[in-house]
Structure 1
Amino acid sequence: MTKNRSKSFVLGFRSLVRSKLGLPGLVIVLISCLTAIFAPVIAPHDPAQINTAHMFLPPAWMDGGMKEYLLGTDNLGRDVFSRVIYGTRISLIVGIMAVVVSGAIGLFLGLIAGYYGGFIDNALMRIVDAFLAIPNILFMLVILGVLGPSLLTLIIVLGVTNWIIYARMIRGEVLSIKERDYVIASRSIGTKNLQIIFKHVLPNVFSSFIVISTLSVATTIILEASLSFLGLGVQPPTVSWGGMLSEGRNHLATSWWIATFPGIAITMTVLGIIFMGDWLRDLLDPRS
C-alpha cells in the first residue's frame, strides 16, 4: 500500500512538472494562499486607514508617486497594495467556504438520487429544473436583497444556489457505477446500501468531485466580486476585490490604478485555479 501511494505521488509530481498549465496554476494558487495567510505581515499599511493628505497618489514608479505606496492610493488615501493583499483573504474564504457548502449538498443529493432512483431521483431532477429556469445571479440578488448583505449571508447564498452542478454530475456517474459488477455482487450478498455507497460508489466519484470543486472556486470568486461590485456582497470596511472595483470605476480616467490592480488580482487568481483544475482533471480522470 505504501509503495503504491509513493508511486502515485511520483507520477502525480511528474505530471505536474510536465504540465504547461498545471505548474504555473499551482504556483499562483500557493502564492494567493500564502498572501491571504500572511496578509498582516506583507501589507505595509492598514487597508482601512484613511489619509486625506495622500489621496489619489499614483503608483511608485510614476511621477508624483511615493515609495511608501507601491501601487498608489485610492480616493480616501488608502494604500491600494495593502487593500489588494487583504482582498485575497475575502475572495479565498468566500470561494472555498461557498464551494464546501454547495459541494456537500450536491454530493449528498447526487449520491442518494443516483443510487436509489425512483421518486427521490424524479423529485431532485424537478428541483434542478426549477433552479435552472431562474438566472443564477438574479436569484442571488433577490435573496441578498431580502436578507441583507454580509459575509456569512454571501457564503450561504453562493453555496445554496450552486449545488446543482454537483448533484447532476454525481447523479450521472452514480447511475453508471451502480450497474457495475462489483456493486451488483455486493448487493447480492446482502451488503447494506449505505455501505455500498460509501465503500464502492463514493470513492469512484470523488475524483470528479474534486475537479469540479476546484473549478467552482474560480467561478465563486468571480460571483463574489460581481456581487460586491453591485453593493450586495462584502460590505465596508471589510476589503474585497469587487468592492475595490466598484470604488474605482468612477475614477478610471484619472486614477486607473484603483480598479486596475484588484482586477488583475482577480484575473490571475481565477486563471491559476482554472489551470490547476485542468491539470487535476487530466490527472484524476482515466478517460483523459
Structure 2
Amino acid sequence: MADITAANSVPATSAEKAAPRRRQRIPLLVWFGLVWIAIIIVVALAADWITPYRFTAYDLRNRLAGPFHPLHWLGTDELGRDVLSRLIVSIRISLLVAFGATIISAVLGTLMGFLAAHFRGLVEQFVLMLADFQAAMPFLILALSVLAFFGNALPLLIGLMGLYGWERYARIARGLAISAGAQGYAGAVRQIGASPTRIYLKHILPNIASTLIVSMTLTFPEVILLESGLSFLGLGVQPPMTSLGNMVGYGREYLTRAPWIMLAPASTIVLTTLAVSLVGDWLRDRLDPTLR
C-alpha cells in the first residue's frame, strides 16, 4: 500500500514542478519583440559609430541606386543620400521623441492622479474634467494647431507629445492611490507622521509601478505612430534632421520609381510598434494581478 502511495506521488510532484515552467515560458513572439527592441535601442545609441555615411552626404553619381548596391546596401534617394544612414539616424530621433514623450506623459499623469486622490473634492473634479477634455479632444488636431502656430522645434515636439495620453495615467494613479490609501499600510505610515510626499512616492508608487509600466509600454507605440504621422504631414521633425515619419513622407513622392526610400522606414515603424505592443501585452498578463 505504501508503494502505491509513493508511486502516485511521483507524477504529482513532477507535474507541480513542470507547471511553473510552462507558466514562466516566454512565447516566441515575445522573444521576437524583446530582440527587436534591443536591436533598435542599440542602433539608436550607436548611431554615430555605425552609420556608413553622414545622413546628409550626397552621392550624385549613384542617385536612386537600388538596394544591395555595393556602396549603399539599402539604396539611395534622388540626391544620392544613403538610405541606411538616414534610417539609423531616423531611428534615434524617433526613439528620442517617443521615450521623452512617454516619460513626460507618465510623470504628469501620475502626479495629477496623486493630487486628485490626495485632495479630493474640487481638485479631484478639476483633474477629472481635464482628463475628460483631453480624452474628448482629437489630439492630432491639437498638435497640428500648436506646431503650425509655434513652429517645429524638437523640444517643443517632445513636450507636445508628452501631453498625449496623460489622462490614462491620471485615472490609473488616482484609482490605485485611493485603493491603496484605504488599505492598512498607507494608513499606518500616515499615523506615524510620514508626509504625504513620502507616502505617495515611497509606499504607494512602488505598489502601482507595475501597472504604470504596462500602460507606458502600450502608449509608447502610439506616440511613435503619432510622431510619424506629424512628420509625414510636414509638421514634425524638420530637415535637415530626419525621422522615420519624415522619411516616409519624403519617400511617398518616389513610391513608383524608388519604393525602397519609403519601405525601409515604414517597415521599421511597423516592426517597432508591433514589438512594443507584443511585449506590453505580455507584461500586462504577467504583472496585472486581475489577469492571473
User: Could you state the TM-score of these two structures normalised by the residue count of structure 1?
Assistant: 0.88
Deviation string 1:37-59 (CA, Å, 9 cap, x unpaired) is: 11222221211112222111111
1:15 to partner: Cα distance: 6.7
1:227 corresponding residue in structure 2: 230
1:20 corresponding residue in structure 2: 28
1:32 corresponding residue in structure 2: 40
Deviation string 1:206-247 (CA, Å, 9 cap, x unpaired) is: 111111112222111111111111111111111211111111
2:121 corresponding residue in structure 1: 118
Deviation string 1:185-213 (CA, Å, 9 cap, x unpaired) is: 44455544333222332122111111111
Q: Structure 1 counterpart of 2:80, which letter?
A: G
- Candidates 26, 44, 48, aligned match of 2:52: 44
Map 1:48-127 → 2, pairs under 5 A: 48-60=56-68, 66-127=69-130
CA–CA separation in structure 1 for the residues paired with 2:232 and 2:164: 19
Deviation string 1:101-139 (CA, Å, 9 cap, x unpaired) is: 111111111112123311110010111122223201101
1:278 to partner: Cα distance: 1.8
CA–CA separation in structure 2 for the residues paired with 1:108 and 1:260: 40
Instruction: Say whether 1:240 aligns with 2:240.
Output: no
Q: Structure 1 counterpart of 2:39, which letter?
A: I
Question: Conserved in 2, the CA contact under 8 Å of 1:102 and 1:161?
Answer: yes
Which of 16-25 and 274-283 deviates more? 16-25
1:88 to partner: Cα distance: 0.8
CA–CA separation in structure 1 for the residues paired with 2:250 and 2:21: 42
CA–CA separation in structure 2 for the residues paired with 1:122 and 1:130: 12
Q: Structure 1 counterpart of 2:26, which letter?
A: R
Distance 1:192-1:36 versus aligned 2 partners, 3 A rule? closer
Which of 151-160 and 168-177 deviates more? 168-177
Which of 184-193 and 166-175 deviates more? 184-193
Q: Where do 5+ consecutive residues of structure 1 fail to align?
A: 1-11, 61-65
Q: Structure 2 counterpart of 1:96, which letter?
A: F
CA–CA separation in structure 2 for the residues paired with 1:110 and 1:214: 19
Q: Which structure has more RCO (C-alpha within 8 Å, separation ≥ 6)?
A: 1
2:283 corresponding residue in structure 1: 280
Distance 1:16-1:25 versus aligned 2 partners, 3 A rule? farther
Instruction: Say whether 1:164 aligns with 2:167.
Output: yes
Question: Conserved in 2, the CA contact under 8 Å of 1:227 and 1:242?
Answer: yes
SS of the residue corresponding to residue 163 of structure 2 reads helix
How many residues align? The count is: 272
User: Could you state the TM-score of these two structures normalised by the residue count of structure 2?
Assistant: 0.87
CA–CA separation in structure 1 for the residues paired with 2:134 and 2:158: 18
CA–CA separation in structure 2 for the residues paired with 1:17 and 1:116: 43
1:204 corresponding residue in structure 2: 207
Identity over the aligned pairs, expressed in percent? 38
Question: Conserved in 2, the CA contact under 8 Å of 1:16 and 1:23?
Answer: no
1:13 to partner: Cα distance: 11
1:8 corresponding residue in structure 2: none
When the two chains are superposed, the root-mean-square deviation of aligned CA atoms in Å is 2.0
